[in-house]
Amino acid sequence: MSIRISDNVGAAARRDIIDLEKKISNFVSGAMTDEHFRKFRLTRGVYGQRQPGVQMIRIKLPHGRITADQLIRIADVSDRYATGNLHATTRQDIQLHFVKLADSPQLWADLEDASVTLKEACGNTVRNVTGSARAGIDPEEPFDITPYAYTIFDYFLRNPICQDMGRKFKISVSSSEQDSAYGYMHDVGLVARVQDGKRGFKVMLGGGLGAQPFAAQTAFDFLEEDRIIPFIEGVIRVFDRYGERTKRHKARMKYLLNDLGLDEMLRRIEEETPALKNKTFEVPGLALDVRPDRPEVSGFKLETSDAKLSTWFRTNVFEQKQKGWYAVQLRVLLGDMSSDTARALAGIVKKYAADDIRVTVNQGYLLRFIRPEDLTAVFHELDALGLAEPGFDTTADITTCPGTDTCNLAISSSYGITRALETMMREEFPDLVFNDDIKIKISGCMNGCGQHSVANIGYHGSSLKNGAYVLPALQVLLGGGFNGKGEGLIADKVIKIPTKRGPDSLRLLLRDYEANAFDGEYYSDYYARQGKNYFYTLLKPLADLKTVVDSDYIDWDHTEQFVTEVGVGECASVILDLVATTLTEAQEKLNWSNEALAESRWADAIYHAYNTFITGAKAALMSRDVPTNTQHGIVSDFDKHFVGESGFHEAEGDFKTRVFSINKQEPSEAFARQFIADAIEFLTNVQAYRERQIELEGAPELQELTQAQDS
């Protein structure tokens, strides 16, 4: 073994790291196809970049929670293997860019030594569980959601039910009715509530962004805390079984819910109850740094003649629910922080704050439990690092994705337009650092990593054709985010303009709001009152392509003429025997099932065996050129096309009854052993059938496979 793995790394992570190294070797040698390897590495946080030959590494930080030593370790790893930059994301992860593929196993091992993982940070899995950064110190919260966010992350990490879904799955946990974790745009969004003295959550289902954003539907106004994890497990099992798998753009949970309807979705979730590993699940406490109140310094007022310090105190500092303690929020331009700055920040945390840093959903950081008498010193030390800019999470603090700097799917520069807009606001609208109503979010494309669809004012990268030429453009979206009633809204697409006119568009929108909004009127309420056509008319002159100039054909941060280079993604174009590849996957899943059985993990063993049935049946159908899609459809089609086939089943419906017994039985040892024995027999028969087919028909023609990346 060439990689160094410390004794601090757990057995499961150790095996994952060694497996990644082996798979990289197989891929480089040609023993593993591009497509198979792509699926594998994405679920290990290794993601292809726009630049060939290098990877983006996504570090999975549940709830964005990190210690000072972990921050130092990430900084050290970035220096050693990446560019010395740490990019905070809207999902409270940290990303490193320009990493060599061969370095990724050792990078992972170095992080796991500090209890930081890459596992399931990308791919068709349960992604990072996000949560309100203020959790535990939020004056508005009914209780601390930190243990719940972490436990949800831990419960589904390496869980068999979510290792090979049709698409990614996102969960958020908000600490109060303000829904600061944006639950309404998640597959499952939770909002903490107390009812009749009991803890629980409002539960929302089926939200999502992308080209067709959906607001989530409310499944429960209140669900008791011990039922939350079993309910989410039921949701994932239904999504895994019935979710779209062929049309990738329709493969998110929001489309399944839209097709089934909420009542039918909830009925199918309830059907999964017998098979659940846990019918109820008590969330254990976490060792959190909660300090006693200091009421003598509650309501602290900073007295200073330093204008920047005074503004920073007003916009970036708040008193915690623990009286006499204060939290400091760091505004980080573009979410980017150098490794040297990160190490210095860790030193400030160790000196002045609790060892519990939170990455925020708007790409900043939050420090907790700071004494008011230390705030001035903290400001000056942060200011020396460039981390004391006022206006955290205000209009002036734009959320953005990296765009064309590193992403395959981006159309135009997100970073460039973000810098231009923030500069314009700083010079022309300095008081916007005090406005926490209007949120501006930018993405490099329609997929929405910058969350533009839930912004009051949003932009996403696009392009416009003008005669024989193409120029970079921005799609303007308005009216998303939260209104005055606290309702989460999806923004409307209003108009598309050349990207160089972005500052002009924002200037127009802000001046219009200043001139015509009612006192105290939320921006999204103002948008709703005026209507989409009003804003289309307001911005229409900026869309006039008869007035473009040469500079409009050049994107922000660029000097060359704009060329559209998008849609390629991590395309895998490879020549392979698809049936053989699928049978190999089925055998891997059977191996995992036997391993779980040996470790007495009955529910896990059963689900791996279920996936063996599904993948084996898929291979058999592919051998007859029968198209496959949902897992439920695969089972039904196998029943129909292979009825009476030697070695399989005698009557139509037998196979379906056998496979779908998974959700009608308790996950007992007896059922696990029988179900796995059935899966072994079935896969053996499929392999034998395929061998007979090749003998009769000859070796299959190798096929070219192209599949876009998972974003």
Predicted local distance difference test score (pLDDT) of residue 563? 81
Task: Please tell me the distance from the alpha carbon of residue 393 to that of residue 436, in angstroms, as a whole number.
Answer: 7
How distant, in Å, are the alpha carbons of 82, 92, 333 from that of 59?
Answer: 13, 9, 20
Given the structure tokens 């000196």, which residue do they identify?
Answer: 351
Phi, psi of 183 (to 5 degrees): -60, -30
**Over the stretch 360-387, which tens digit does the pLDDT of each residue have?**
999 999 999 999 999 999 999 999 999 9
What pLDDT is attached to residue 210? 87
Map out the domains of the chain with their CATH numbers: 11-112 (3.90.480.20), 137-275 (3.30.413.10), 295-384 (3.90.480.20), 400-553 (3.30.413.10), 574-705 (1.20.120.330)
**Residue type for 700, please?**
P
In this predicted structure, what is the pLDDT of residue 567?
Answer: 44
pLDDT given at position 644: 79
Q: Which two tokens stand for residue 627?
A: 């198209």
Tokens 């790291």, located at residue: 17
Euclidean distance between CA atoms 42 and 48, whole angstroms: 9
Q: Is 30 exposed, middle or buried (0-12, 13-18, 19+ CB in 10 A)?
A: exposed
Query: 514-550 burial, b if ≥16 CB within 10 A, otherwise e?
Result: eeebeeebbbbbbbbebeeeebbebbeebbeeeebee
First to last CA, the chain: 32
Cβ neighbours of residue 82 closer than 8 Å, sequence gap 6 or more: 57, 96, 97, 98, 99
pLDDT number for residue 664: 92
Q: Which residue has the tokens 């017998």?
A: 274
Give me the pLDDT at residue 579, please: 85
Instruction: Calculate Rg over the CA atoms of the chain.
Output: 26
pLDDT at 711: 38
Phi then psi for residue 703, to 5 deg, are -115, 150
pLDDT at site 699? 66
pLDDT digits (tens, 9 = 90+) for 287-339: 898 999 999 999 999 999 999 999 999 999 999 999 999 999 999 999 999 99
In this predicted structure, what is the pLDDT of residue 572?
A: 33
Residues 442, 402: Cα–Cα separation, whole Å: 10
DSSP conformation letters of 213-281: -BPPEEEEEEEEGGGHHHHHHHHHHHHHHHS--SSGGG-SHHHHHHHH-HHHHHHHHHHTGGG-S-SS-
Mean pLDDT for back-to-back runs of 10 residues, the chain (711 residues): 89 95 90 83 89 92 97 98 97 96 96 97 95 97 97 97 93 96 97 98 96 94 98 98 90 95 98 96 92 96 96 98 98 96 98 98 97 98 98 96 82 92 96 95 90 95 92 96 93 96 97 96 97 98 95 90 61 52 90 95 96 95 92 93 78 88 94 96 92 80 43 38
Helix and strand counts by DSSP (H, E) for the chain: 20, 24
Tell me the two tokens of residue 692.
């007979």
What is the side-by-side strand order in the sheet with 130-131? 130-131, 171-174, 188-195, 198-205, 217-224
pTM here is 0.92
Q: What are the distances in angstroms from CA 373 to CA 122, 294, 561?
A: 42, 12, 54
Using alpha carbons, select from 108, 238, 239, 118 the residue that is nearest to residue 168. Answer: 239
Other Cβ atoms less than 10 A from the Cβ of 248: the count is 16
